[in-house]
Amino acid sequence: MSSSYRWVIVGAGALMTCVALGTMFSLAIFQVPIAADTGWSHAGIAAAMTLNFLVMGLGAFGWGAATDRFGIRIVVVIGALLLGLALVLASRASSLFEFQLTYGILVGLAASAFFAPMIAATTAWFDEGRSLAVSLVSAGMGVAPMTISPFARYLISAYDWRSAMLIIGLMAWILLVPAALLVRRAPTTDETIGAGGKIEDRNLPLGRIFRSPQFLVLGATFFACCAAHSGPIFHMVSYATICGVGPMAAVSIYSVEGLAGLGGRLLYGTLADRLGVKPVLVAGLLVQAAALATYLLVSELHEFYMLAIVFGSAYGGVMPLYAVLAREYFGPRVIGTVFGAASMLSSIGMAAGPLIGGWIFDTFANYAWLFIGSSLVGLGAAAIALAFPPMQRLQMQPV
């Protein structure tokens, strides 16, 4: 198969992550209209997002293992069909519990079929420029706030939240199914025998991988990074509204974050290819922590925009780098399973933010403690990242 096809994989992956993650994160846009229409609590609606991340974590591990065994195409086709169905069912939910089941569980399960599997699959297509390629696939997540979120806001204004969610579900089918059919597994390469004749990848036990210092630091950093930014991302629109920013302008802040995240992915990916992944990751985590603390000081729209550029580029830029680290530490044979497991840990971190942020708002009527706590967790992520071992492929011990 022509190596030029790898850019088709990148394009399809970017589209699928944009639609899948964009529809999931658009719950932030739906939160206020749903609460106003149904009387459901903000914390109860945000709990659906928490379920998204918990299920997405488990799904990422399962879908990643399925990708290694059955190939990437069948995984993303099933995910495409499931995502549209989940949104259609959620739009018809008649109770908070029913909404949490359909949006929280089914959307999370569907979305997990795209991000970790497509990121892992892309690493197998590139030997040079891998960080940039993975960043481009992940850039779909950054484009989502500029496309799915404003589209959702427009549909809610033109119709109502139920019609908006139904239309987005139908659009998910139209866009994702054809894109999923374009996806192919990378041409296989024989990396079973490594330097010194040591057996790698194919026969390396997963138990040893998951107990290795490389994976433990990778998983812990990924967890803390996502725990730090998930709450502020989800509650940003609500926080800006409290500060006096209009609803559509508040959504535009979310879009600026996404645009900055797109630029951050390209910038951090290019720097990682040139300077190494670890120093770029640590620097990005420190910038993220500083930006989170600074949100306590902003109140005007232009201040939100300026900080959104810094925050969005930081959290968007570091996210693809975890897959590159997993590929370089563990090789291509088990990348779907390994990155899926790391994504499971990150999703548990992501799950905490929306629920805690909703509880903080319901309890204190502001988000100050959310930003303070998130900044401290972000500093912890940078500290953990400093413990990454030297960049050397984990190998089977000789017998």
For residue 248, give the CATH number of its domain. 1.20.1250.20
In a domain, 197, yes or no: no
In a domain, 15, yes or no: yes
Write down the pLDDT at residue 164.
Answer: 93
Mean of pLDDT values over 268-272? 87
In a domain, 198, yes or no: no
Find the domain containing 21 and state its range. Answer: 3-185+205-385
In a domain, 170, yes or no: yes
Write down the pLDDT at residue 280.
Answer: 93
pLDDT higher at 100 or 149: 100
In a domain, 213, yes or no: yes
pTM over 0.75? The answer is no
Structural domain count of the chain: 1
Write down the pLDDT at residue 84.
Answer: 93
State pLDDT tens for residues 162-173.
999 999 999 999
Lowest mean pLDDT among 2-16, 289-303, 305-319: 2-16
Q: In this model, does residue 396 exceed pLDDT 60?
A: no
Q: Are 265 and 17 in contact (CB under 8 A)?
A: no
Lowest mean pLDDT among 101-110, 264-273, 281-290: 264-273
How much of the chain, in percent, has pLDDT values that exceed 90? 27
> Per-residue confidence at 397, pLDDT binned at 50, 70, 90?
low
> Per-residue confidence at 379, pLDDT binned at 50, 70, 90?
very high
In a domain, 102, yes or no: yes
Write down the pLDDT at residue 286.
Answer: 96
> Per-residue confidence at 203, pLDDT binned at 50, 70, 90?
low
In a domain, 316, yes or no: yes
Lowest mean pLDDT among 229-233, 255-259, 392-396: 392-396
State pLDDT tens for residues 2-26.
568 888 888 898 899 889 888 887 8
State pLDDT tens for residues 37-95.
888 887 788 788 778 878 887 888 888 888 888 888 999 999 999 999 999 999 998 89
In a domain, 380, yes or no: yes
